[in-house]
């Protein structure tokens, strides 16, 4: 009943816990134990918002957000190495996971129990993966610097190496499907334009290289309106770029701390950040000021998930 009003932010980090926050007040609603031996690498919610998926070192877990139970409802056994990303198809039919075991897997979530329906081998540890809004293509970035675009339906793929001797840290595709961004550990962010015709796989056209940060980029993400691109970095900043011309629009600073993850609100006016000081913050982009702190984690926050909705004009 209350879930329509309840807008939550989920965060996870090095303290092996996942916390669920009431987004607009900053109050922690729930704390869930993650795996004792693992940090949280990525968080995502099922599109129906009832479950929260988290991945870490040798683990993938799904938690029920509606019950009071803090134990997972689904646990993956036999996971090797770090699982770096996961995400859901927009209907929740399937989930993808990317791991340092070189594989990106597609999991059929309708089946009970879930089973693997596709595997892609990147031949190097996969650091990042994201789903194209067309719901059939997955962009991946690997530690050896390759960027892949994989069509899960036709199982075709394309591979590009934008920069040698650099590890791709994150990839992102704009919600309007126009751009693919890949950020690496040298602080550079590469942009490709995506075009697609007649149900065929998208093609990549190099568009721009941004020297976004002086250090490690940890995440890149497009805003829901596709007009902004953010990059978070180990240099303690979040840079926000306008996709018109990829010029810098805003820079948010959390001095001396790594900014591990960030998420826009649905209207692209607010931004959540997760940083290594153990505090998640809510920023008003207009003024570049923080308006909420989410304190409770005892160590660095490395992942967050926020699902917002447009409520009207």
> Interface residues for other proteins in 128-167 (CB under 8 A)?
133-136, 152-153
Among 3, 75, 156, 206, binds other proteins (CB under 8 A): 75
Q: Is 90 in the site for other proteins (CB under 8 A)?
A: yes
Residue whose pair of structure tokens reads 């409520």 in the numeric block: 311
> Of 301, 199, 309, 181, nearest to 246 (Cα)?
181
- Which one among 48, 66, 71, 205 touches other proteins, defined by CB under 8 A? 71
Part in contact with other proteins (CB under 8 A); list of ranges 44-52, 180-188, 230-238, 288-296: 288-296
Please identify which residue in 24, 49, 157, 215 interacts with other proteins, judged by CB under 8 A.
24
**DSSP character string of 139-159:** EEEETTS-EEEEETTT--EEE
Q: How far apart are CA 231 and CA 42, in angstroms?
A: 16
Residues from 38 through 57 that contact other proteins (CB under 8 A): none
Shortest CB 185 distance to other proteins, Å: 27
Looking at beta carbons only, is 117 or 214 nearer to other proteins?
A: 117
- Closest of 287, 298, 232, 274 to residue 9, by C-alpha: 274
291-310 footprint of other proteins as x/- string (CB under 8 A) = xxx-xxxx---------xxx
C-alpha angle with apex 64: 66 to 175, nearest 5 degrees?
95
- Three-state SS for 4? helix
For other proteins, give the closer residue by CB, 96 or 260.
Answer: 96
- By CB under 8 A, tell whether 36 contacts other proteins: yes
Among 27, 203, 256, 289, the residue binding other proteins under the rule CB under 8 A is: 27
Question: Does residue 249 interact with other proteins by CB under 8 A?
Answer: yes
* CA dihedral sign, ordered 30, 35, 39, 45: negative
Q: Does 283 bind other proteins (CB under 8 A)?
A: no
d(C-alpha 263, C-alpha 306), whole Å: 6
Contact at 8 Å (CB) between 262 and 272? yes
Find the binder of other proteins among 15, 100, 235, 261 (CB under 8 A).
15
Instruction: Work out whether 115 is an interface residue with other proteins (CB under 8 A).
Output: yes
The DSSP symbol for 114 reads -
Taking CB under 8 A as the rule, does residue 277 contact other proteins?
Answer: no
């Amino acid at each position: 009943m209350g879930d329509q009003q309840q807008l939550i932010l989920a965060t996870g980090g090095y303290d092996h816990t996942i916390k669920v926050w009431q987004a607009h007040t900053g109050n922690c609603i729930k704390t869930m134990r993650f795996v004792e031996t693992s940090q949280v690498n990525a968080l995502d919610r099922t599109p129906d918002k009832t479950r929260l998926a988290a991945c870490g070192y040798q683990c993938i877990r799904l938690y029920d957000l509606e019950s009071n139970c803090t134990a997972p409802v689904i646990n993956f056994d036999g996971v090797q190495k770090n699982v770096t990303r996961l995400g859901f198809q927009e209907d929740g039919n399937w989930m993808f996971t990317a791991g340092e075991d070189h594989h990106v897997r597609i999991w059929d979530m309708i089946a009970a129990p879930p089973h693997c329906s596709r595997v892609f081998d990147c031949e190097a540890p996969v650091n990042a993966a994201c789903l194209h809004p067309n719901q059939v293509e997955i962009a991946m970035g690997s530690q050896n610097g390759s960027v892949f675009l994989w069509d899960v339906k036709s199982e075709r793929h394309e591979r590009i190496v934008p920069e040698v001797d650099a590890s791709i840290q994150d990839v992102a595709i704009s919600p309007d499907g126009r751009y693919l961004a890949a950020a690496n550990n040298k602080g550079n962010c590469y942009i490709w334009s995506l075009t697609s015709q007649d149900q065929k796989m998208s093609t990549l056209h190099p568009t721009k290289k941004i020297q976004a940060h002086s250090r490690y980029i940890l995440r890149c993400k497009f805003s829901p309106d596709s007009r902004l691109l953010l990059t978070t970095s180990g240099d303690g900043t979040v840079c926000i770029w306008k996709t018109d011309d990829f010029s810098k629009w805003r820079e948010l600073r959390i001095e001396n701390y790594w900014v591990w993850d960030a998420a826009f609100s649905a209207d692209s006016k607010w931004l959540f950040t997760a940083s290594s000081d153990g505090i998640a913050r809510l920023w008003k982009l207009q003024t570049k000021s923080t308006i909420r702190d989410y304190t409770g984690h005892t160590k660095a926050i490395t992942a967050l998930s926020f699902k917002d909705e447009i409520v009207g004009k």
